[in-house]
Amino acid sequence: MVSSMAVLGGGHGGHTMAADLSLAGFKVNFFELPQFAGESFRKVARQGEIEILGKARVGVAKLNKATTSISEALYGVEIALIVVPAFGHKTFAEACAEYLRKAPGKPTAMVLMPGTGGSLEFLKIFREEGVRVPLAETATLPYGCRLLEPAKVMVYVTAKLLPVGVLPAKRTGEIVDMLKQLYGTVYPCRNVLEAALNNPNPITHPAATLLNVGRIEYAGGEFYLYKEGITASVAKIYEALNREREALCKILNLKILECGEQLTGMDKIIQMGLLFGAGCWEEAGVKMKGPSNVKDRFVTEDVPYGLVFMASLADMLGVPAPVMKAIATLFSAINQTDYFAEGRTVDKLGIAGLSLQELEKYLYEEM
């Protein structure tokens, strides 16, 4: 039975996860890198607790510890949950590897929540450092949440389905059994790519943000994407993106876990974007504000680490992805950043040039 864990990452999701799992009775070490420890994390470190409201467990959660020391966070825990944006994966992987390389005991698994292919980046760094720890990634964060103030979070929506892929996939049963003790909604994927490609954010966020960019900049922060930004025309772009993703999954023999096959158009994009949280999108859409500008994570994370990742994989496998590339190209122009150069690619993940059979073997057996 799992009793102890580390939650790595001190943002909205990390605060929420640390609080929710503490209230569930687990011993939780909460960690943030020193250079990213903001006002809220520092308050949690001082008082040792987080208040959580909304649709998860509610109350004042007492943590085992909150620390900026990776060794203190990981020492003695059974599982580590990494809850950081994709652009933070490399930094966190390097910090973890430095400790794990010389640690007497290691977590049974390290799980990126979500990953969007980040488990492959962790694996590449761990291999370079001589670290061997099973990895996993979810398709989404279990919560739609926001920090209301330092050390106080609100959960607006929770995932009714939490797809998980394991690396190596041959250890899926073992790791999924552990994670089900934390989240009963865990659903085993064939491998980490299936989990990565089921992340709805790169499909929903960039397109809707791009097509509402004038409204976003005019609104001065008063914009609610799921309330006002998902229209019939926006949904058509979503459908085009989803067809490209489905073609990629088909060649990889993977599944897209639709929130409801009976849904179409605007209903589907809203449900998918809120991570299968059926019945909650109205409230979440009204209360979860944003994005407020084109440097929001809806762009800076979901374009280079979502769309570019899928487009790179599609190129390697000979699958056309013109709409994904078009959106990434336009945001590169808007933000004057080459997201194709900056983003997550098969070259950076160490899988460039693999055949389908070689990729399948790598995902199943590697370790």
Average pLDDT, whole number, for the chain?
92
CATH topology of domain 4-197: Rossmann fold (3.40.50)
Instruction: State phi, psi for 32 to the nearest 5 degrees.
Output: -140, 145
pLDDT for the residue numbered 270: 52
What residues contact 2, with CB distance under 8 A and at least 6 apart? 26, 78, 79, 178, 181, 182
pLDDT for the residue numbered 278: 41
Domain-by-domain residue ranges, the chain?
4-197, 201-365
Instruction: Tell me how far apart the alpha carbons of residues 302 and 335 are, in angstroms, rounded to a whole number.
Output: 14
Each residue's pLDDT tens digit, 87-126:
999 999 999 999 999 887 789 999 999 999 999 999 999 9
CATH number of the domain located at residue range(s) 201-365 in this protein:
1.10.1040.10
Q: How confident is the model at residue 257 (pLDDT cuts 50, 70, 90)?
A: confident
pLDDT for the residue numbered 13: 97
pLDDT for the residue numbered 132: 94
pLDDT for the residue numbered 277: 47
pLDDT for the residue numbered 78: 97
pLDDT for the residue numbered 8: 99
Mean pLDDT for 64-89 is: 97
Q: Return the higher-pLDDT residue of 153 and 104.
A: 153
pLDDT for the residue numbered 258: 66
pLDDT at 284 > cutoff 70: no
Each residue's pLDDT tens digit, 173-210:
999 999 999 999 999 999 999 999 999 899 999 999 99
pLDDT for the residue numbered 286: 56
Give one DSSP letter per residue of 142-203, joined into a string: SEEEEEEETTEEEEEEE-S-EEEEEESGGGHHHHHHHHHTT-TTEEE-SSHHHHHHT--HHH
pLDDT at 271 > cutoff 60: no
pLDDT for the residue numbered 230: 86
Instruction: Tell me how far apart the alpha carbons of residues 67 and 54 are, in angstroms, rounded to a whole number.
Output: 26
pLDDT at 240 > cutoff 50: yes
Nearest to 176 by CA among 161, 190, 166, 167: 166
pLDDT for the residue numbered 227: 85
pLDDT for the residue numbered 251: 97
Mean pLDDT for 270-292 is: 58
CATH topology match: 4-197 vs 201-365? no
Instruction: Tell me how far apart the alpha carbons of residues 180 and 330 are, in angstroms, rounded to a whole number.
Output: 40
With 0-12 / 13-18 / 19 or more C-beta atoms within 10 angstroms meaning exposed / middle / buried, residue 148 is middle
Q: Return the higher-pLDDT residue of 259 and 45.
A: 45
Nearest to 126 by CA among 91, 101, 89: 101
pLDDT for the residue numbered 327: 99
Q: What is the percent of the chain where pLDDT is above 70? A: 91
pLDDT for the residue numbered 85: 95
pLDDT at 282 > cutoff 70: no
